[in-house]
Amino acid sequence: MHDIRAIRENPAAFDAALSRRGTEGLSSSLLAIDEERRAAIHAAETAQAEQNRASKEVGKAKASGDEAEFERLRALVSAKKAEVAEMQAQAKELDEKLTHELAVIPNLPAADVPDGADEDDNVEIRRWGTQPEFDFTPVEHFEIAGVKASMDFEVAAKISGARFVMLKGAVARIHRALAQFMIDTHVDENELTEMNSPVLVRDEAMYGTDKLPKFGEDSYQTTNGWWLVPTSEVPLTYTAAGEVLEEKALPIRMTAHTLCFRSEAGSAGKDTSGMLRQHQFEKVEMVSITHPSESDEEQQRMLRCAEGILEKLGVPYRTVALCTGDMGFGARRTYDIEAWVPGQNTFREISSVSTTGDFQARRMNARFKPAEGGKLEFVHTLNGSGLAVGRCLIAVLENGQTADGGVDLPQALAPWLGGKTRLSPEGKLV
């Protein structure tokens, strides 16, 4: 959510920043609504003051026996009362209109975000690891002999339709091990607090974390109004909604492993093979709530937490800074981590780490009390995947595949796999 006062003070700067995201000249229409809204508020306050003054005079006129003045003042009070109600209703309507207009405008990009139209204009920051060399042609995860029997798309389709998968046996265990490895690493080494959060949330939580009203079609809503979370960013971030935190409590760092649900409304025909893009998937999420002066540093910290997971697993990756045309709606700056997937001979996104500044905090009224006093300030919120479990499974299977149809698994997973480090061509952990 944008601050109308900031737009009022520097409309040119607002328009210039927004134009970097392909949206032109909104300040004039916003300020027109704002001016009309403020005029209605002023008119309501003026009418209220006149009503109050007339009300005081009514008694005096009655006491003096001036019936004509009494009737005039009583009529005036009634008229002003109606005028106040009309102006207040108009001000409320305009306030709701302004709030809606502000709610569907994307966040302003940070100054260091590269300009660009789409993913082709993203800027690579660094690479890690060596891409494996095979003496055979590597295949995609669902084509690996040891994986096929344990990754069933046909049964999932019979139960739920397209973009679902049924994992079983060793592959299901590897998937579970990955999630446990991630969450334990974030808790034990990265000092995040583990949360077990709801996956059903109210409208307010979706709105406060900028998923509504603009992206309702990308999520699933139950018949009684709850939303299935697209990511646990929603419940974790919304824990701060309406709160006034002590400055010394910041930063608040959380992590959760949850199911996530997305309709993939805009991805018809895209990534239909395998389990790369699913309606239901699991993710280990990281969320930080910070002091504004520390949010940029916190984003780098979160990025390293996510990168560290892939490094422990030995999965090659690259980190890119998203350009203005590829960033998410609520992001001020985003870094994507893309894992190498040999079966596709390319890098694929496995994590996004974003800072929203105070964009979400304004929507959900999350503030903190400065230690040295002064007025309350909005916190900054950040979120990042640490990591997407299914996509990490894909990367581990494809990078570790062997000529006989088996998979050499990362040593880091052994404690969660009973000490086993290999998936046999028959689909067994050995």
Catalytic residues: 262, 277, 349, 352, 391
DSSP annotation of 74: H
Tokens (6 digits) for 350: 């496995």
Query: What number of other Cβ atoms are within 10 A of residue 115's Cβ?
Result: 12
Q: 42 φ, ψ to 5°?
A: -65, -40
- For residue 174, the number of C-alpha atoms closer than 13 Å in the C-beta half-sphere is 33
Provide the residue type at 308 as one letter: G
**Pairing, β 317-321 against β 123-128:** antiparallel
Beta pairing, strands 333-341 & 422-423: unpaired
- Measured in Å, how far apart are the chain's first and last C-alpha atoms? 52
Distances (CA, A) of 211 to 12, 206, 238: 27, 5, 12
Q: DSSP 3-state helix, strand, coil percentages of the chain (rounded to 5)?
A: 45, 20, 35
Supply 398's token pair.
């494809």
**H helical segments located in 348-420:** 359-364, 389-400
Quick check: helix, strand or coil at residue 414?
A: helix
Q: DSSP 3-state assignment of 243?
A: coil
| DSSP reduced 3-state for 338 | strand
Cα(427)–Cα(422) distance, integer angstroms: 9
